[in-house]
Amino acid sequence: MAPATTSKHFLTDPRTLVRDSLRGLTLANPHLRLDDSQKVIYPSTLATLRTQQVTLFCGGGSGHEPAHAGFVGQGMLTAAVSGHVFASPSSSQVLSCLRRVYAENKGTLIVIKNYTGDILNFGRAVERFKSEQVNQGRAMPKVATVVVEDDVGVVNANDDDEGGVGRRGLAGTVLVYKLAGACAANGGTLEQVQHWAEYTVAHTFTIGCALNASSVPGQGYPRTLKDNEIEVGMGIHNEPGFERKELEPADKLIHGLIDHIIHSQPFKACKGTKSRVVLLVNNLGATSNLEMGLITKLAVEAVQDRGMTTERVFSGTYMTGLAMPGVSISLLVLPDDKDKRDNVLALIDEPAHCPGWINHSQVDPKADTSSTDESAQGPIESFIPASNATWERVINAVYENVVAKEPEVTRLDQVMGDGDCGEVLLSGVTAIREAAQQRQLPLNDLPAALARISSIVEEAMGGTSGIIYCLFLDGLAQQLHTEGTTVTNGDGKELLSPKAWGAAMIGALEILYKYTTARPGHRTLIDALEPFAATLAKTGDLTAALDQARRGAAATANMKAKRGRAAYVGGGHEKVEDAGAAGLVAVLEGIEDASTSSPIGGSKWFTLMVKSRDTSMRANSSLMEQSKKLMFGVVDRYPQDQIQNPSTDPLFEVRTFPYASCHRPSKCLEFSLRI
């Protein structure tokens, strides 16, 4: 039985696919509105809703439709924010959504699926929103969050006392929307809405399987299964499952999936008799309706055969993995207490007016369609653009090296991830290069430039690696700003030493570590970043630091992934270097290449030539002191083999400082020095 999938897509431009799809959603559902720039869907009645009830929103990468935007409407979500395909929305997008939907009197609940990128971006947005509110003299905002982790297909053996990556958020997330949204629509308090969301999170368990991975528009398949294979535990982003086996009859397969749920540790840990459940059978995108009917029948039979009563059964397309030929099965365990159980069922039965919920009903077509809401606007980012030839060389060198290394980084990610790491990194450096070419960076103010680059990276890259880079760049900008050091190209302003750069990077890592448990040894880009920063801070030697980064990246080939999507991959896969670490090394190599003529903090700052054989020449005292400092102070710190003939190295910059007080002018006044 060959998977009925294709790498062909209805496509105009992959870069506009998400926005175009959201525009189509609003055209088909005129009660919905779209913030086009931030990719946020919200109802036309939002201004009224904010005063009447607790608001709640979620979001995530696109490609899971109808989740999440399809569940925006009365009785479920107040808004949804979409990222790129299979990539978390940026923290700026999430922040914009939070500003828009925040109910000052009632409060707001944010539902987050348990993926590293979502946790980081949504968390950063919440913290930024709290800071905004407090800085404006307001009380700490009423914002609560819940993290959905219903997946029992992968209970990660690599999780440890530090927390690990945990269980993924899958189709059970939709049940969280349903209960929490119904409670909010009925006038529940923030505490009550959060209670029902947390109840659903703690009592919902999901397992999925697929006949093949899904083709990503503009990229194709990351991998394919044989015609007679099925993969159990495959994630909604094409993450490899925990078992690949020969395709078996559907009755045996579905009964096995139900057994996997009830024998899983999270299900066993759930309190109560677990005798009554809600069953959700979810189409992962490309399973025919005919087959879905069969699977639903088999799932109900399997649950009942094991002594449980199915109080409600839902079957349809709720959370997909693009056009993945597969299904997921979710069980929501109901309370043993009849009154509490009736409360849960009443929330489930409450009508929801949104396009994605199978029991949705029509809304008033005469509803107000105007929207002048500007609540999503925040503080305006301000900076003064300035060009700088040295820093532009650095940016170009990084871009060129990433272009050269992108195919290999992509190959590595196809083995142990979703295959987009190289392209995402290239998108980031391309956007930075374009901003530099268009004179949109404040390159004369490095902290401001790094902050601006962070914003560009967030918009261009998305995903977990993007937010990691953003948090690190934010931290680095803070460190440099705190130090009060202006970093330039030797034009008379203070230069930051290589060791100081390393120290700033160590400080930036400490800020990054507030938001991620990833550490060296977890098979992430941290394995290259931390040794680079530590070596540079200790030695001031960029070449030695880069060597340690390369060693750290290479070592990831023999590590078990403990963070990121690769953490869900079981054994038996090819041992390869972590794609994120390899990508970071490509960036650092570009910086090192440019450092031969750029003041970016390596062992080579600028080129100096002092030439004067006229011992009778008198120079002013300022020039004499400057020459003395440059010649003797610098030469004493560097080996003589770095003194080169400028005529054979066209990259050297020549500067002339006449100086007459040297005892041996023929030796100490004529040289070209690369620092």
Report, as residue numbers or ranges, the catalytic residues: 237
The answer to the question of whether 62 is labelled as a binding residue is: yes
Cα-flanking dihedrals φ and ψ of residue 535, to 5°? Answer: -65, -40
Under DSSP, is residue 576 helix (H, G, I), strand (E, B) or coil? Answer: coil
Closest to 584 in 3D by CA, of 471, 391, 431, 425? 425
β-pair partners for 232: 209, 243
Q: Which long-range contacts (CB under 8 A, 24 or more apart) does 551-555 make?
A: 552/520, 552/527, 552/528, 552/581, 553/527, 553/528, 553/577, 553/578, 553/581, 553/582, 553/584, 553/585, 555/527
d(CA 555, CA 578): 9
The answer to the question of whether 63 is labelled as a binding residue is: yes
CA 248 to chain CA centroid, nearest Å: 37
- Strand pairing category for 79-85 and 55-62: parallel
d(CA 110, CA 170): 16
Under DSSP, is residue 119 helix (H, G, I), strand (E, B) or coil? Answer: helix
Under DSSP, is residue 239 helix (H, G, I), strand (E, B) or coil? Answer: coil
| Encoded amino acid at 491, one letter | D
Cis previous bond, 263, omega within 30 = no
Tokens of 607: 């080129």
Q: Sheet containing 55-62: which strands, arranged edge to edge?
A: 32-35, 40-43, 79-85, 55-62, 108-113, 143-148
The answer to the question of whether 315 is labelled as a binding residue is: no
CA 72 to chain CA centroid, nearest Å: 23
d(CA 345, CA 340): 9
Exposure of 379 by Cβ count < 10 A (0-12 exposed, 13-18 middle, 19+ buried)?
A: exposed
CB neighbours of 374 closer than 8 A, spacing ≥ 6? none
The answer to the question of whether 64 is labelled as a binding residue is: yes
The answer to the question of whether 61 is labelled as a binding residue is: yes
Kind and range of the H or E run holding 608: strand 607-610
d(CA 459, CA 90): 7
CB 675 within 8 A of CB 605: yes
Helices (H), 46-168: 46-52, 91-101, 116-135
Please list the helix, strand and coil fractions of the chain in percent, rounded to the nearest 5, in that order.
45, 15, 40
Cα angle value 394/396/399 (rounded, 5°): 110
Q: What is the DSSP letter of 328?
A: E
d(CA 652, CA 671): 11
β-pair partners for 610: 671
Residue pointed to by tokens 């890259």: 461
The count of other CB atoms within 10 Å of the CB of residue 663 is 7
N-terminal to C-terminal alpha carbon distance within the chain = 65
- Strand pairing category for 108-113 and 32-35: unpaired
CB 176 within 8 A of CB 111: yes
d(CA 291, CA 316): 11
d(CA 652, CA 583): 30
Cα-flanking dihedrals φ and ψ of residue 77, to 5°? Answer: -85, 145
DSSP labels for 533-552? HHHHHHH--HHHHHHHHHHH
Annotated binding-site members: 61-64, 113, 118
Annotated binding-site members for substrate: 61-64, 113, 118
